[in-house]
Structure 1
Amino acid sequence: MSEKIAVLGAGSWGSILANVLDENGHDVRLWSYNPKQVEELNTQHTNSHYIKNFTFSKSLVAYADMASAIDGVDAILFVVPTKAVRSVAHEVAGILTAKHLQPELIHASKGIEQKTYKRISQILEEEIPAANRKAVTVLSGPSHAEDVARHDITLITAASASPEAAKYTQKLFMTPYFRVYTNSDVIGVEIGAALKNIIALGAGALHGLGYGDNAKAALMTRGLAEISRLGTSFGADPMTFIGLSGVGDVIVTATSTNSRNWRAGDELGRGEKLDDVISHMGMVIEGLATTKAAYELSQKRGVSMPITEAIYQVLYEGKDIKTAISDLMQREGRSEF
């Protein structure tokens, strides 16, 4: 099948997903708020700030005007930072209403909205009227844009309350190197996608401090237990967290230098100040805001998340990282399960 698809957000992940769709023969419109980025994509077929040494398909067209990008599309893929999802969705809703469109909605953003603690799919459903959208599908899993760009083997999940919508998304993206599984657990997939960035910050910090593989394995394992506890408190399926959107995403994000959350944690572990890390990263570090939202959620719901709490204290209360680790290690002994 060949579909007309708008991809909103031309960062590393959004632009590479747009390229995958283009390679699959779809008519893809890649939207960015930055006119200079749009010009670079259309004239040089590069996105140098986000993806180094990669040439995009010449048939992939970028747009600075959102109305033009989404006019007549069959599906819209949101890949914007969490903090921008609501405002972008609101703008999209106005255009869809005016043009009487009802596309499939897909998102590949990973985070939790500050203060409201809403997941991305909830924001999209709130901002875009049901009359102007079909089902919402979440596309998530262990995937770095840099690896997908070089056609490395990648497996991810398309989750939706609508089995048909999940299968539709699966068909859009499937390639010999990019395999998509379907799932009905939207809550679990979104919670896993967001909270794994917290664990990546911690894993990077351990590396920066000089800790070895034992410590990193402990962090990822117990961190995943925290993610599962919070997710299941909202009704997520526990099995989701041993799948691609759980353990898979934790592994890839908490072990790779391609992860900006890992790199941020590594710099913090090496003694860099948080403001300096943010200023020179040049891209959104989703784990910072997610840590705050997850910690506050855990307090409200009475869910034990000691690792998340420790990282929150380091980021937002100025606690020394080594002291935070020592306090975690010296907590009272308990059963693993």
Structure 2
Amino acid sequence: MGEGGLGALPFQLGGAQPLGARCPSPRRSPRAAGGGGGRCSAMSPLRWGAWLLLLAGPTASTASPADESGGARGGGRGDGERGARDEPQRQHHDSSYGTFASEFYDLRYLSEEGYPFPTAPPVDPFAKIKVDDCGKTKGCFRYGKPGCNAETCDYFLSYRRIGADVEFELSADTDGWVAVGFSSDKKMGGDDVMACVHDDNGRVRIQHFYNVGQWAKEIQRNPARDEEGIFENNRVTCRFKRPVYVPRDETIVDLHLSWYYLFAWGPAIQGSITRHDIDSPPVSERVVSIYKYEDIFMPSAAYQTFSSPFCLLLIVALTFYLLMGTP
């Protein structure tokens, strides 16, 4: 038997085409591409088997035993039902992807064509005090020039009830501190005091004090909450809340009762309050009730001089003297 017969024997026994036949696959061997007349290269049966398994591998690996059993029992109907069930999920996935792609395109490209990204509106770090509400929805005290407001008065205070709290707003022409005291009389001593203090770091802190005689002692228990403050244009301004009712405590009063209000302001050294600016700080003429909103103006010392009875009498006498002349 010749050499060619030995080489072709395995393929003939397996029922395959002889070595000189055309390749069943469109993929040609290098020898065929090089002018071998389109003949298959010599390949052993093991290599042919491995090549066929490789081609059939991805399709066979996707089938599970459950699929095979289902297919054997139900034939093609199982595949059809499974495809029908998967179709809504596929459509939802396609729809979600399309929405995401559209939004991404809008944000990525339209913004560069002149459509800026949406931005949050600027937040005012401290809302200005409104004086138009004085006497209507909140009570106010003004000390200074007639007609002044929260930004021009020597001292300004407002109060209003918000649920179980009372909100206070304080402002004064100072670079140190501004405070309000709740007193059972018009004198300093034994008073509950809330102060807004401007420290060296530029912050405005709300502190709680208790007047012992003529000096204030800081109390660690601070009823204030929702504190905010600002130092601007040489003014200390703050806003805070404190509860109407508090547990019984000597240093904290219940605001549902009526008290005299003490108004004070002055300089601070390294965040510590010092003596108030004027010797006799203003005091409310009568006790203040948080359930009654009033707009009360108190002229400062510069404007009290011309309104005093003695000054008015002096002005009338001087005017009479100038009009009548000397005898």
TM-score normalised according to structure 2 size: 0.22
TM-score normalised according to structure 1 size: 0.21
Structure richer in helix, relative to its length: 1
Structure richer in strand, relative to its length: 2
